[in-house]
Amino acid sequence: MLQQRLADIKSKRETARPLPLGSAPFTSSSHFKIRQSGYTNKANRWDHRFSLESRNQHVSSLKSAARAIGPSDMISLGTARPSPQYFPWKSIVMHGQEYNDGTSNYPLIPPTSAVGCKGEEAYDLSVALNYGYAAGFPQVLRFVTEHVELIHSPQYEDWETCLTCGSTSAIDMAFRIFCDLGDWILVEAHTYPGAMSTAKSQRLHILGVDMDDDGLLPDDLDLKLRTWDESDGPKPGVVYMIPSGQNPTGVTQSTERRKAIYRMAEQHDLYIIEDDPYYYHQLQIATNTTQPPMDQYLIQLPVSYLSLDTSGRVLRLDSTSKILSPGLRCGWMTGCSQVVEKFLHATEVSTSAPSGASQLMMYKLLDESWGHEGFINWLMYLSIQYSHRRDTLIRACERYLPSDICQWGVPDIGMFVWMRLNVQNHPRFVENIDSERLEGIGLDLENRIYEQARQYGVLVSKGSWFAVDRVAPGVVHLRVTFVAAPEHLLEQAIERLGNAIRTEFTYVIESPACHPVSRQETAAPRDWPKTLPLSPGSCGSPTDSRFADCRHPDSVTTGSL
């Protein structure tokens, strides 16, 4: 199956017209689609969803003039692009990392060394270092368009892809395209803080939709929209989701859940922003199959909202940050041509275009060196490495975290483990406490565990950082990631976290380096104290000299979770 589709891509390239050259060449992903006909529908029009800002944005006159077609010997005195002869770089040399280390059953196509030079026919460094077109350079946009079609096979005719300056920038522009001042955006009950900050900076309101182990609940989405009170403002027209390996909960929406949510979006005329940076991190790759490994990997990828979309109501965001490098500050977005056009207009008056140097690096790696097959091999390799890390962290959780206090899920996709701590098991917990005080207790306990963990030398993320609305009374969550710290330190990091939790919950800490000493704190005062003082001689205190052998000397900087 995959080999046939790769053959189709090769055939398309062989018969395609040459790529446009020169500075900031105009291009469109429609030039690079494999499937050019046979669609049964086009996208809906979205004029009624566009914000006042996006309705007033149009193509830049200077940039439009710069890409006007004229004689081949046209001399430009119009646009103020610097002359490449004054760029202080003649070439850029890139050496690819070798990853055939025997840990994967699927050998990579080893990256080769690459050089980008001034005057190079395939991708002139002088062009890469000059102003670029908002959609991206054609060499990179071609590869990305082919990849989108290979993975998602959009179902309507007028879909397009363009490059972005990363997902956070794309989220900011998407909100501006669809939302006016004071509008509401629907999101998952716990979500990416960057998206929340972006919405708040634009003076938008955000409303969390309840979640379960399959992600956002369509029934709660429907309820919130059916019972919307117009006195609170216009009914929300946009829902923002992270459907795969969700940040922070790690849950992945099932195909059935995605179809149900899409039906709700159709019913309520919602526009979906599908932010999916963890999509390719498949942590459960099947090995007992007769399918070729790459085919099996692609089969296991979730059904994206983009692939379900028939009316052009999905804007999908992909990023290089989690699969290549965050420093590239590149990604791509896919949606209907009307929305992508609005995004390009916004790009021209803000970020201008993705980095030319980053695009050159992407082209040399993805197109010249790896190709589509090599890129998929890389994504498989990355998934296998992250699955090893996840398993290491989960085993450490089972060994070092108190099971009567901590519960966690095992993610199938992504980078995160979401932990819930049972506040009711804390010795200071008082039954029949009112919800307002209980919420304060939970936040206070969360903060003390966070600080206690820092003292033990492990950094975690507070669950409240991701909460859209008020934190549920008496609930404490922590988010940990298994991709940042060196793999050999993950077990040690979880052991430190377990010690911090036991210290806060006044448990006995068992350690070969110190005898367990019980600390009993049974009194429940009227008011929850700001701190819970540790008994001066108790084993388990970070300041206890007898506990020195139980903790790592570089206690603050080692082991970020």
What local confidence, expressed as pLDDT, does residue 16 receive? Answer: 92
What's the predicted TM-score (pTM) here? 0.89
The rounded distance, in Å, linking the Cα atoms of 503 and 509 is: 8
Is there a single domain that holds both residue 306 and residue 436?
Answer: no
Q: Which of 337, 363, 381 is the last residue of a domain?
A: 381
- Domain membership flag for residue 70: no
Is there a single domain that holds both residue 370 and residue 228?
Answer: yes
Confidence of residue 112 (pLDDT cuts 50, 70, 90): confident
Is there a single domain that holds both residue 331 and residue 458?
Answer: no
What local confidence, expressed as pLDDT, does residue 192 receive? Answer: 98
Higher pLDDT, 207 or 544: 207
Q: Which of 330, 360, 381 is the last residue of a domain?
A: 381
Mean residue pLDDT of the chain comes to: 87
pLDDT higher than 60, residue 527: no
Q: 220: left (phi > 0), else alpha (psi -120 to 50), else beta?
A: alpha
Confidence of residue 38 (pLDDT cuts 50, 70, 90): confident
- Domain membership flag for residue 538: yes
pLDDT higher than 80, residue 557: no
Q: What percent of the chain has pLDDT over 90?
A: 71
pLDDT higher than 50, residue 554: no
Q: Which of 330, 356, 381 is the last residue of a domain?
A: 381
pLDDT higher than 60, residue 536: no
pLDDT in tens, 62-97: 766 666 556 667 777 777 888 899 999 999 999 988
pLDDT higher than 60, residue 509: no
- Domain membership flag for residue 483: yes
Confidence of residue 435 (pLDDT cuts 50, 70, 90): low
Is there a single domain that holds both residue 247 and residue 337?
Answer: yes
- Domain membership flag for residue 397: no
Concatenated DSSP letters for 369-383? IIHHHHHHHHHHHHH
What local confidence, expressed as pLDDT, does residue 69 receive? Answer: 59
Tell me the sheet residues that pair with 371. Answer: none
What local confidence, expressed as pLDDT, does residue 430 receive? Answer: 65
- Domain membership flag for residue 327: yes
User: What CATH number should be reported for the domain holding residue 34?
Assistant: 3.40.640.10
Confidence of residue 534 (pLDDT cuts 50, 70, 90): very low
Give me the mean pLDDT over the 118-142 stretch: 94
Q: What are phi and psi of 316, to 5 degrees?
A: -95, 135
Give me the mean pLDDT over the 400-426 stretch: 94
The rounded distance, in Å, linking the Cα atoms of 540 and 221 is: 46
What local confidence, expressed as pLDDT, does residue 516 receive? Answer: 36
What local confidence, expressed as pLDDT, does residue 531 receive? Answer: 36
Is there a single domain that holds both residue 370 and residue 490?
Answer: no
Confidence of residue 113 (pLDDT cuts 50, 70, 90): confident
- Domain membership flag for residue 63: no
Residue 280 exposure: Cα atoms within 13 Å on the Cβ side: 23
What local confidence, expressed as pLDDT, does residue 550 receive? Answer: 38
pLDDT in tens, 453-494: 999 999 999 999 999 997 777 789 999 999 999 999 999 999
Is there a single domain that holds both residue 120 and residue 250?
Answer: yes
Concatenated DSSP letters for 235-304? PP-EEEE--SS-TTT-----HHHHHHHHHHHHHHTPEEEEE-TTTT-BS----S-SS-HHHHHHHHS---
pLDDT higher than 80, residue 553: no
Higher pLDDT, 551 or 222: 222
The separation between the first and the last C-alpha atoms of the chain, rounded to the nearest angstrom, is: 39
92-101, 388-397, 400-409, range with the lowest pLDDT: 92-101
Is there a single domain that holds both residue 216 and residue 334?
Answer: yes
What local confidence, expressed as pLDDT, does residue 510 receive? Answer: 47
User: Which residues lie closer than 8 Å to 304 by C-beta, 6 or more apart?
Assistant: 151, 152, 243, 274, 276, 279, 316
What local confidence, expressed as pLDDT, does residue 560 receive? Answer: 59
- Domain membership flag for residue 83: no
Count the domains in the chain. Answer: 2
Domain span holding position 479? 415-550
Residue 543 is classified by DSSP as T
- Domain membership flag for residue 391: no
